Structure 1
Amino acid sequence: MAFTDRHGGVSGDPYSSRNLGGLVGDAPESVAENRARTAGELGLGPGRLVFLRQVHSADVAYVTEPYGDDAPPLDGAVTDLAGLGIAVLGADCAAVLVADPVGGVIGAAHSGRPGTLAGVVTSLAEEMSRRGADLSRATAVVGPAACGRCYEVPAGMREEAARVRPETWSTTSWGTPALDLRAGIVAQLGEAGVTDIRHDARCTIESPELFSHRREHKTGRFAGIVWMPGG
């Protein structure tokens, strides 16, 4: 499992430099080069890194190869194939990576506010279980995201979210309504039977080495990536 940052790519400002997002206005050839570099650095062969067309849904699919330019709208993917990586993009939303190496099943989900409330992590866990994963022995890593002390939202939005996932209720460090997506994600993982839950707890808004839509508005996307060596 790995999380990229904004360094080590070829994109120009404001995407400098390792932007992996293809729908943010960056030059397609720069994104392609950044993705190829990233795959190579992880030991994955050419064309062996799956990217999704993320739409803030709870939809998860089993994948056996990259989609290319015709990716369906998905916010999570699962595979049991070694040598195939799954990447989910973020710039304040969390990437949730889960692996059962004994069962040979891995998965990744893009869990922003809508996806967290819709249960994308629950959908990911269910699909992994269908493919033979034992989630009680799985390891999950919740990646960098806007933290509960920075993710300011209107009071009504906080109340609406808390009706679905009470764990998300939070307050900013300056005393205004906020959401703690990480707490909601952890609750879903726990409900699915995952006990080994780890964190890259960096706040994207506070960490300049990461892309943040809230901080920068027009910006790139970093990735959380999960893969099994071999293949």
Structure 2
Amino acid sequence: MIGQRRDAVISASGAHFAFTDRWGGVSAVPYEELNLGGAVGDDPDAVRTNRELAAKALGLDPARVVWMNQVHGSDVAQVDGPWPTRRTPAVDGLVTATRGLALAVLTADCVPVLLADPVAGVVAAAHAGRPGMIAGVVPEAIAAMESLGADPARIVARTGPAVCGRCYEVPDAMRAEVAAVEPAAYAETSWGTPAVDVTAGVHAQLERLGVRDREQSPVCTLESGDHFSYRRDRTTGRLAGYVWLD
């Protein structure tokens, strides 16, 4: 698990970012081992245990991690604590100004986007798959952060493991549709067919919004056996990205 050790957490000016891999949990095949997704068919008890293991490995209280019911949209919710009921709202972005509250995003090829303005004390997490990137979930997350006092010039952005543009093959018409909205996402596979690079699209959006401090993971989930990939395996687990402030 990336981040299973405290020294593996990426930190910047009091903001902390972490991304998991598939190892160090209790889930059985085909979700082995550290599946953190609760809606993929895995044993709910295993998922709860995995979420506890991941949080504690990061030095977090599992009860102070906020999750989403992700639907490939652009809605962003502001939170100041865990959801009061068992029903998790259908959103693809979270923002908070509550220090010590961790926001989590689940992925298995989509781009996990973690954002923080340590000066304003605001963090956000967004789930940017191809539909969400086109719909504008990242600009919506930045706007939600700004409403709480964040400044894009101060925002630190980290994107995690995701399927790369060399592997994300799509029909030519779909590539054209995506590129019409975000030209930076236009790509070609390593074997010469139409593709989409969602990570490139996300970073282009962040650049236009004024976010300069950006880094992306070099990991392609489809190529890496250490990460879950829906496009590769279909029935599989989910990785998580976490962001929080001291």
Q: Shared fold by TM > 0.5?
A: yes
Normalised TM-score (structure 2): 0.91
**What percent identity do the matched residue pairs reach?**
54
Q: Give aligned pairs, total.
A: 229
**Which residue of 2 is the match for residue 2 of structure 1?**
18
1:119 aligned onto 2:136? yes
Q: Which amino acid aligns with 1:152?
A: E
Runs (5+) with no aligned partner, structure 2:
1-16
Query: Shift in Å at residue 190 of structure 1?
Result: 1.1
Matches for 1:131-210 after TM superposition, within 5 Å: 131-210=148-227
**Which residue of 2 is the match for residue 87 of structure 1?**
104
Distance in 1 (CA, whole Å) between partners of 2:170 and 2:164 is 12
1:137-172 deviation per Cα after TM superposition (whole angstroms, max 9, x unaligned):
111001111100000001110011111111111110
Query: Shift in Å at residue 201 of structure 1?
Result: 2.2
Query: Shift in Å at residue 69 of structure 1?
Result: 2.4
1:61 aligned onto 2:77? yes
RMSD: 0.9
Runs (5+) with no aligned partner, structure 1:
none
Query: Shift in Å at residue 41 of structure 1?
Result: 1.4
Q: Which amino acid aligns with 1:45?
A: D
CA contact (8 A) 1:45 1:83 kept: no
Q: Which amino acid aligns with 2:20?
A: T
1:94-151 deviation per Cα after TM superposition (whole angstroms, max 9, x unaligned):
1000111111100010000000000100000000000111110111001111100000
Q: Which amino acid aligns with 1:24?
A: V
- Residue 100 (structure 1) aligned to one of 117, 120, 131: 117
Normalised TM-score (structure 1): 0.97
